[in-house]
Amino acid sequence: MFKRETPTPVLASVLQPPKEIRPFELTGGDGETFTLDNLRGQWTLVYFGYTYCPDVCPTSLAVMGQAMKELETEANVKGLLISVDPARDTLEQLKAYAPFFHPEITGLRGSDAQILEVATRYGTYYQKVEREEGKDYLVDHTSRIFIIDKNGELAGVARHGSTPQEVVDRVRRLL
Ligand code: NI
């Protein structure tokens, strides 16, 4: 679900110089620890979302997956889905969901504190939204694709609504 995204006049931006992301620790795959070191030596597209998201996350992750496919022959590009709903997003759930959009997208989760810390560093907002009885809650969240360079540093951002081609162009300009 998507709300409260601050409108920006450009579809994507490049950060100069890259912004260093401080060390973080999350969990992915079958329970392996995932840290900043896992990002080094590759380009990484990072998206914050959750597997129960009804519309925005699937659309954004499809865009991310298509961009990754397009870039396959040019660069080593991996994808990350960092869950803003770790209460429901188990590792099993993330493993079943994330690779659907591209085999190289890994779902990551962590404790509430760990997720909050990483999200804050990326300037990402998320908020649980209760709905009427009998309906599962939703999570409002910022919908941006972060572009991380080979040093694990934040190099660019593709805003919500970017097309796969816009994401590809943004990454190409950084390569
Ligand atoms: Ni979503």
Give per-residue pLDDT as tens, 66-79.
Answer: 999 999 999 999 99
Task: Give percent above pLDDT 70 in the chain.
Answer: 89
Q: Which of 161, 128, 172 is nearest to 12 (CA)?
A: 161
Indicate whether 150 pLDDT > 50. yes
Instruction: Work out the average pLDDT over 9-35.
Output: 77
Q: What's the confidence (pLDDT) of residue 133?
A: 86
Report how far ligand 1's centroid is from the alpha carbon of 56 (Å): 5
Report how far ligand 1's centroid is from the alpha carbon of 10 (Å): 21
Q: Report residue 4's pLDDT band, with 50, 70 and 90 as the boundaries.
A: low
Report how far ligand 1's centroid is from the alpha carbon of 23 (Å): 25
Residue 99 CA, distance from chain mean position: 13
Cβ-count burial of 10 within 10 angstroms (0-12 exposed, 13-18 middle, 19+ buried)? Answer: exposed
Give per-residue pLDDT as tens, 98-141.
Answer: 999 999 999 999 999 999 999 988 889 999 999 988 889 999 99
Report yes or no: 143 and 160 within 8 Å, Cβ to Cβ.
Answer: yes
Report how far ligand 1's centroid is from the alpha carbon of 113 (Å): 20
Model pTM above 0.75: yes
- The residue count for the chain: 175
Report how far ligand 1's centroid is from the alpha carbon of 82 (Å): 11
Average pLDDT of the chain is 90
Distance CA 106, CA 29 (A): 7
Residues bordering ligand 1, an ion, CB closer than 5 Å: 49, 53, 56-57
Q: What's the confidence (pLDDT) of residue 10?
A: 45
Distance CA 139, CA 98 (A): 17
Q: What's the confidence (pLDDT) of residue 24?
A: 82
Report how far ligand 1's centroid is from the alpha carbon of 61 (Å): 9
**DSSP secondary structure letter of residue 42:** S
Report yes or no: 160 and 124 within 8 Å, Cβ to Cβ.
Answer: no
